[in-house]
Amino acid sequence: MPAVTLVDSTLRDGSHAKRHQLSVEQVSTVAAALDRAGVDVIEVSHGDGLGGASFNYGFALTDEYELIEAAVKAVERARIAVLLLPGIGVKEDLARARDLGASVTRIATHSTEADVSPSHIAFARELGYKTCGFLMMAHMNSPEGLLEQAKIMEAAGAETVYVTDSAGALLPDTVKARVEALRGGLEPGTEVGFHGHENLSLSIANSVAAVETGATYIDGCTCGLGAGAGNAPTEVLTAVFEKLGIDVNAETFPMLDVAEEVVRPIMDRPQVVDRASLILGYAGVYSSFLLHAERAAERFDVSTKDILVEVGKRKAVGGQEDLIIEIAAELGKVPA
């Protein structure tokens, strides 16, 4: 089984769980600790990617470029990654992050909209980034359809293409089907990645299934700190991979120390599979919608559960956060 590149997204996906309030000190401390533990790639940016700080997605405590610069300075061997969603971030954002020392980028689109990514992927390659395509909400496309989207990213220059389970809605068999489709249909030199969420308590099982089917890039967040119920905990991935004989550079006991002594103290609340986060996985709702739905539920005095179920029915995707307010307002109307 080939070695796995472990990507820790605590400082990007975890930004959702922190309401984008990460400080320079927190980023520096976490990045340095992950670097010492042997993590290969550390992702840093607003939860919604470069340029994401906004009224719609949530304003950040600190300019993300300050956070990227702090992370780059804090590490000795790990590579710093950034995320960009075309339409939220622009090419100039990629160039600025590259100038600060970021060397890996993930260009993310909905799982049926890879056609908006080629110019950003090609530009990232020109800048010298290790460039990944990130097909979000992968449960909303068939394995065959996902392969066709992956080929668009590959043709543009993506060196790795991800099956991204943004809703935590996939099961091990459905992960395998999608990874197998990409692994069998892309060029041999193109790697396949997997990004899992914990909404159905399957992020570890799904990550193992992805590796067993040929994925060589696996994402996690330390302590699971991420959107929804969180992501595959990086420290658990490290331990499980070690027990399975899957080769990773991160070391289990140092990762346990990072989780317990560095990341857990900065968490606003534990990452748990509660009623609302379970609904995310069950109904196939984008994980980062959770806190938005909780705020809207409080504002309009309605149930978070009812909002998320309706969001799922309408098949909302990332970028449609304003729909949460609309749904909450509709549910909160007093009958005549």
Regarding whether 241 and 198 lie in a shared domain, the answer is yes
180 and 323: one domain? Answer: no
Q: Which domain holds residue 34?
A: 5-266
Q: Does residue 210 form part of some domain?
A: yes
3-state secondary structure of 119: helix
Virtual torsion, Cα 224, 129, 251, 203, nearest 10 deg: 30
Residue 93 is assigned to a structural domain of this protein: yes
Q: Which residue has the higher pLDDT, 59 or 241?
A: 241
Look at residue 271 and tell me if it is in a domain. no
Note whether 166 and 299 are same-domain residues: no
For residues 242 and 313, membership in a common domain is answered with: no
User: Cβ distance 148 to 109 under 8 Å?
Assistant: no
Same domain for 307 and 249, yes or no, is no
Tens digit of each residue's pLDDT (9 = 90 or more) over 120-179 = 999 999 999 999 999 999 999 999 999 999 999 999 999 999 999 999 999 999 999 999
Residues 34 and 110 in one domain: yes
DSSP state of 131: E
pLDDT tops 50 at residue 323 = yes
Higher model confidence: residue 28 or residue 309? 28
pLDDT, the chain, mean: 94
- Whether residues 33 and 102 share a domain: the answer is yes
For residue 158, the one-letter residue type is: A
Among candidate residues 234, 266, 298, the one where a domain is terminated: 266
Is 273 contained in some domain? no
**CATH number of the structural domain spanning residue 82:** 3.20.20.70
With cut-offs at 50, 70 and 90, classify the pLDDT of residue 2. Answer: low
Q: Are residues 240 and 294 in the same domain?
A: no
Q: What is the pLDDT of residue 72?
A: 98
CB 133 within 8 A of CB 162: yes
Cα separation, 129 vs 80, whole angstroms: 10
State pLDDT tens for residues 34-53. 999 999 999 999 999 999 88
Predicted local distance difference test score (pLDDT) of residue 53 = 85
So what's the pLDDT on residue 336? 37
Please check whether residue 272 lies inside any domain of the structure: no
* DSSP structure string for 38-94: T-SEEEES-TT-TT--BTTTB--SS-HHHHHHHHHHH-SSPEEEEEE-BTTB-HHHH
Say whether both 29 and 125 belong to one domain: yes
**Is there a domain that residue 281 lies in?**
no
Q: Are 289 and 310 in contact (CB under 8 A)?
A: no
Residues 6 or more apart whose Cβ sits within 8 Å of residue 242: 248, 252
If asked whether residues 195 and 296 sit together in one domain, one would say no
| pTM of the predicted model over 0.85 | yes
The per-residue pLDDT for 195 is 98
CATH number (domain holding residue 310): 1.10.8.60
25 and 119 belong to one structural domain: yes
For residue 139, indicate whether it is catalytic: no
The answer to whether residue 278 sits within a structural domain is no
| The domain boundary residue, chosen from 233, 266, 299 | 266
Taking residue 80's Cβ as centre, other Cβ atoms within 10 Å add up to 27
pLDDT tens track for 49-97: 999 888 777 888 899 999 999 999 999 999 999 999 999 999 999 999 9
Task: Look up tokens 């990773």; give the residue.
Answer: 248
Q: Which band of pLDDT confidence, cut at 50, 70 and 90, is reported for residue 288?
A: confident
Q: Using the structure block, give the residue that is written with the tokens 């550079």.
A: 249
pLDDT at 332: 87
Contact 41, 7 (CB under 8 A): yes
Task: State which of 266, 300, 321 marks the end of a domain.
Answer: 266
- Domain assignment present for 280: no
Kind and range of the H or E element at 185? helix 172-185
Number of structural domains (the chain) is 2
For 326, residues 6+ apart whose C-beta sits below 8 A from its C-beta are none
